[in-house]
Amino acid sequence: MVNPSDPVPARALPGLDRARRASTHLLCALPLVAAACGPILKGAPKSSALLTVVHTTEEALPKPAAPPAEMVSVGFVPSPTEGESTVVVNVKDAEAKVSLVTSTKRAAVNVEGKGAVAGGAVQAVDLDTKLLCARTPCAFLLPYGSATLHLEAPPGDGWDSSTDLYDVDVVPQQAQLVTHLMSRTKTTTKRKAKESKGLVADILLESFGWTGITVGVPLALVSDDTRGAGIGLTVAGALMVGLGVALYDPGATQEDVHSFRPSATTMSPYPPR
């Protein structure tokens, strides 16, 4: 005979059993969510930890003033023949190589002066050229009409090497002086990349942690006998993942500034007046 005062066995309360199972699932799910969100909240993805991340900002410097035309000493000034005139080139900020553009297959870059290729837009160029002089200042002869000079300067004073094009009109019986200031580019680092730290410890802790979670969740769900061990493994794994994420410092992104300075040119008679 059943005594009404005796407690009812837990199996006779199906609502309590369902609540216990739901709470078990919740305990298993929460560590998983926390472990998965850890790397996202930390910031940088682990795949980029071994790389230097560089953020580059473009800076357009103002166009410099036209360089003054000054008398320049040239070793040899050739005497013009019929149909030719003398052109003298002086590059103020470099010893540049000067060539004549004989054909243009695509649009030109950093062009000053007149002509269909003028404009100064940075685009791809495919040129055929003929060397006029290896180092400025220099003088050479060109036939009457329009010509495009190809100026190439080596790196210097922190600037990269650069190439400019300049259109000239070669006129009869008048020597001309081209005084040029090269367009320039350079890249400066405002903030160096900070070295990442704790990567090895993070990899090891997360590896063991995710293994514990992977093993613990099925154990917690498969039966009542293994539920306690499964929850313990899951919680311990999640803690290891969180500790690994906390120890890892992905470092700082390198900040670079890429600067561009336009060219400037003065065309005048030679010798200058």
**Mean pLDDT on 167-185:** 91
Residue 14 is predicted with a pLDDT of 52
Taking a C-beta distance cutoff of 8 angstroms, is the pair 114, 145 a contact? no
**Mean pLDDT on 127-152:** 92
Task: Give the bridge partners for 189, in sequence order.
Answer: 256
Model confidence at 157, in pLDDT bands (50, 70, 90)? Answer: confident
Q: What is the C-alpha to C-alpha distance for residues 187 and 153, in angstroms, rounded to an integer?
A: 17
Predicted TM-score (pTM) of this structure: 0.56
Q: What is the C-alpha to C-alpha distance for residues 33 and 21, in angstroms, rounded to an integer?
A: 19
Residue 188 is predicted with a pLDDT of 86
Handedness of CA 120, 124, 128, 131 (dihedral sign): positive
Q: Which of 137, 149, 239 is nearest to 179 (CA)?
A: 137
Q: Does residue 98 register a pLDDT over 60? A: yes
Q: Which of 205, 202, 209 is nearest to 234 (CA)?
A: 209
Please state, in angstroms and as integers, the Cα–Cα distance from residue 99 to each residue in 36, 94, 105, 149, following that order.
62, 15, 16, 6
Q: What is the C-alpha to C-alpha distance for residues 198 and 87, in angstroms, rounded to an integer?
A: 64
Strands of the sheet containing 127-133, edge to edge, are 111-112, 162-170, 145-153, 97-104, 127-133
Higher pLDDT, 173 or 30: 173
Residue 240 is predicted with a pLDDT of 86
What is the rounded average pLDDT for all residues in the chain?
77
User: Could you read off the pLDDT of 2-27 as tens digits, one per residue?
Assistant: 455 555 444 444 554 554 565 555 55
**Mean pLDDT on 88-105:** 90
Task: Give the bridge partners for 111, in sequence order.
Answer: 165
Q: Does residue 121 register a pLDDT over 70? A: no
The residue ranges of every structural domain in the chain are 23-52+198-248, 61-185+259-269
Q: Does residue 247 register a pLDDT over 90? A: no
Helices (H), the chain: 14-42, 199-222, 224-247
Q: Does residue 179 register a pLDDT over 90? A: yes
Judge residue 168's burial from the number of C-beta atoms within 10 Å of its C-beta, 0-12 exposed, 13-18 middle, 19 or more buried. Answer: buried
Lowest mean pLDDT among 139-143, 196-200, 264-268: 196-200
Length of the chain: 273
Q: Does residue 44 register a pLDDT over 70? A: no
Which residues touch 174 (CB under 8 Å, ≥6 apart)?
A: 85, 269
Q: Which of 97, 92, 61 is nearest to 186 (CA)?
A: 61
